[in-house]
Amino acid sequence: NAFEAQDETYRESVLPAAVKARVAVEAGVSAAWYKYVGTEGRVIGLDRFGASAPAGVLFEHFGITAAEVVRTLDDMLN
Binning pLDDT at 50, 70 and 90, where does residue 50 land?
Answer: confident
Tell whether the model's pLDDT for residue 2 goes beyond 90: yes
Classify domain 19-77 at the CATH topology level: Rossmann fold (3.40.50)
User: 25 near 64, Cβ under 8 Å?
Assistant: yes
Residues in the chain: 78
Task: Tell me the average pLDDT across 40-58.
Answer: 89
Cα(35)–Cα(42) distance, integer angstroms? 11
Task: Tell me the average pLDDT across 18-32.
Answer: 92
Residues in contact with 71: Cβ distance below 8 Å, sequence separation at least 6, in sequence order: none
User: 45 near 64, Cβ under 8 Å?
Assistant: yes
Q: So what's the pLDDT on residue 65? A: 95
Q: What is the pTM of this model?
A: 0.80
Amino acid at 78: N
Residues in contact with 55: Cβ distance below 8 Å, sequence separation at least 6, in sequence order: 27
Tell whether the model's pLDDT for residue 28 goes beyond 90: no
Percentage of the chain surpassing pLDDT 70? 100
